[in-house]
Copies of this chain bind each other. A is one copy, B any other.
Amino acid sequence: MALEFKLSNQTEAGGRRAQIVLPHQTVETPVFMPVGTAGTVKAVPQDVLEALGAQIILGNTYHLYLRPGHEAIRRMGGLHRFISWPRAMLTDSGGFQVFSLSALRKVSDEGVRFRSHLDGSSHFFTPEHSMDVQIALGADIAMAFDECTEYPAERSRAEESLRLTMDWARRSLDHFRAHEEEVVWHAELGGKTQSLFGIVQGGMYADLRRESAERLVEMDFDGYAIGGLSVGEPRDATLEMISEVLPLLPKDKPRYVMGVGYPDEIEQYARMGVDMMDCVLPTRAARHGLLFTSEGRLNIKGKKYAEDQGPPDPACDCMVCRRYTRAYLRHLMHSGEALSATLNSIHNLAYYLGIMERVRKSLPGAAACTQS
């Protein structure tokens, strides 16, 4: 059994509150998912993520496949146990990193040959192999293997890329269904299985996006993601693609927009009916000293904060804002201290998770009217 989706009524704008019942955790949506690339949300200990209310985190298949290796992780009981994270997890397909990080990629209908960014070793990823790796990792949600169409892309290129992604989606799903009972916690969790999401591509061409969504829905995935956004396109293009696709996706399944975004974006998309989002921005920006606050973006390196004894965000109740000053965070950043990344990341994640909590509270409650 894959996920169960309990949906409340939705607002006129499309926003909706729901519960995604996953093998390791029931996730309240709309939800923001911190990114834990190599099995760690960078610089933030797992108990802090729990205290922050993170319900589900991401793992990157490409990174974990290369190091420590998916077979090693399976032997150790799967990714949850390996990193000691008891709540929900999602793994991407590895596709995005193969295209963005690795060297000497060679794409064919069969799959992608690439060289590791770590040691130059040669690897071949196919939809089937991505499924095998993700089943070995054993996250609650796995993603179909896709090609993230670059931006900008000519129409012919976007069409060809979409053809590949649709073909790979079919192969991903077939292989996944044939092997879904092999996940390491299958028996332990009473016969539950992972869920597989399809990924809508099509570049910035609305008709290709619609075609992609319709074909994926026909295949009947457990949930649907919109990929290939936040790749450099203007924000109104992002919004247009999401607006075109959402109405075509089934109401009774989760909808996930991958790799977005700024605080106002994730609120906007959540209110349009997007259930799940992930982004490295809160943690990556944190490591560069950029804090997201109720007063806007704050670059903690600024000279004006040298003796500022206020909290990073006066409206924030997170463990960093309760204890530390802007002056101290600035000092840590300037001194190159490890604590800088930790504290900045904790605040930014608290800010992102807080946005989603506020959005959830403002949407019609899931308790009164549910469907599964």
Interface residues, chain A, CB within 8 Å of chain B? 38-40, 42-47, 63, 67-68, 72, 75-77, 82-84, 306-307, 309, 319, 323-325, 327-328, 331-332, 334-335, 337-339, 341-343
Contacts and interface: CB of A to CB of B under 8 A. Distances in A.
A68 B323 CA distance: 19
A332 B40 contact: yes
Contacts of A342: 43, 45, 338, 342
A67 B339 contact: no
Contacts of A44: 339
B339 A84 contact: no
A120 B76 CA distance: 51
Contact of A338 (B43, B75, B77, B328): B43
Nearest to A68: B331
Given A75-B307, A331-B68, A42 B339 contact: yes
B67 A334 contact: yes
A42 B337 contact: yes
B327 A68 contact: yes
**Pairs of residues from A and B, 6 with the lowest C-beta to C-beta distance, nearest first:** A43-B338, A40-B339, A38-B335, A68-B331, A84-B323, A40-B337
B338 A341 contact: yes
Given A82-B327, A328-B84, A331-B39, A306 B339 contact: no
A328 B82 contact: yes
Contacts of A341: 338
Contacts of A47: 319, 323
A63 B82 CA distance: 38
A96 to B, nearest CB: 18
A361 B234 CA distance: 65
Nearest to A327: B76
B339 A76 contact: no
A199 B358 CA distance: 57
21 contacts: A38-B335, A38-B337, A39-B328, A39-B331, A42-B337, A43-B342, A47-B319, A67-B331, A67-B335, A68-B306, A68-B327, A72-B307, A72-B327, A75-B307, A76-B307, A76-B309, A76-B325, A76-B327, A82-B328, A84-B325, A342-B342
